[in-house]
Every structure is written in C-alpha cells, then in structure tokens.
Amino acid sequence: MHRVCVAPFLVALMFVASCGTSEPTPTAPPVIAPAPAPAPSPTAAVSLGPVHQLVVKDLAGKDVSLSTFAGRPMIIEIWATWCGPCRVNRANVQALKGSMPARIAVVGISVDSGASLVTNFLKSNHANEIELMATPAFMEFIRAINPSNSIPKTLYVDSKGRVADLAEGVQSQQWLAAMAKNLK
C-alpha cells in the first residue's frame, strides 16, 4: 500500500483558491464629511444657577433651602441607606469631618424613599453632618449635571453656590481632603 501525503495537496489547493481575477474589487468612494461635533458637556447645555436656589427636605419633612449655606463651600453627599458604597463614602467623609475647615458645610442628602429609613440608620451609625432628603427638583438638578443614576455622588460646591465638581463612587480620604482644602 502506498502512503499518500495530503499536506502538499492541500497547500496547492489553497494556492489555486486564492488566485482570482486580476480586476480589483470595486470599492465605494470615500465620503467626505466634517467630523461630528463633540457632545456638549451637560453643564454647558443647561443653565443651572447656583445650588443655593434648591430646596430639599429635612428629616421631619420640612423644606430646607440650600441658601442656608450661602457664603460657605459645601460638600454634599448624595447617598442611600441601602447602598454599600455610600456607607464607605460616608465613613471616609466622617473620618475627615473633624479636620475639615469649619467654613465648609458637610451635608448628606439621602435618596431613600422615606426619612424614617434615614433616621433609623443614623441611630446606629452616628453622623456629624447635616442630614436632609432629596426632592424631585434637587434630583433634576443633579441629573442635568450628571445623568447617571448611580450613587454615591459627592458634589463639591463653592461659596457662591456653583458646582466645582461632581464625583461618582467612593471618594478616598485623600481626595476629599484635597477638595475640601481647595474649595473657596
């Protein structure tokens, strides 16, 4: 019996199959168009006005105007009791609260569905900041800056009520300290 070597036969078959006509395949002419304009940043597209114009609720359900803090920089934590990363972020803020300049107002604004959840949470998790509840108008303002529904968010506001920065996720103590130092 003769052994047949298949490898040279396959190589020859591939070579023949790869050969074709010498005519180039037609291609569509290139489309020349201007590059798309970059998407505008959300803050540039919306006239936000100062944070001090916003009204939120205290834990008793009464309106609280953030104009109460006019003239002071603010660090606003947007959080919820059920959010694990929010708890870590709160711990980082709490650890630094004592060393932050007194001129900075540290405010927690919860997106929980009821103040009782926040009140019960605070009984077992001591906080040394002002605790408030988000309103639809406050959340609309935040979505105009950052449409993501994620929390935690940390809003850094200057003394004139302008948003200096909005950070998502857990903020390190080093970052929080640097932002607090630079808020005017």
Residue 40 falls inside a structural domain: no
Residue 18 falls inside a structural domain: no
Which residues, in sequence order, are bridge partners of residue 166?
155
CA-CA distances (angstroms) from residue 27 to 33, 61, 132? 18, 67, 62
Domain that holds residue 92: 49-182
Name the pTM for this structure: 0.70
Q: What is the DSSP string of 89-122?
A: HHHHHHHHHTTS-TTSEEEEEE--S-HHHHHHHH
Residue 170 falls inside a structural domain: yes
* Tens digit of each residue's pLDDT, the chain (184 residues): 455 554 454 444 444 444 444 444 444 444 343 444 444 333 333 334 689 999 999 999 999 999 999 999 999 999 999 999 999 999 999 888 888 888 899 999 999 988 989 988 888 887 767 899 999 999 999 999 888 889 999 999 999 999 999 999 999 999 888 888 888 8
Q: How far apart are CA 161 and CA 175, in angstroms?
A: 21
The count of structural domains within the chain is 1
Residue 93 falls inside a structural domain: yes
Phi, psi of 42 (to 5 degrees): -55, -35
What's the confidence (pLDDT) of residue 5? 52
Residue 83 falls inside a structural domain: yes
Q: What is the DSSP string of 156-181?
A: EE-TTS-EEEEEESPPPHHHHHHHHH
Token pair of 73 as six digits: 């920089």
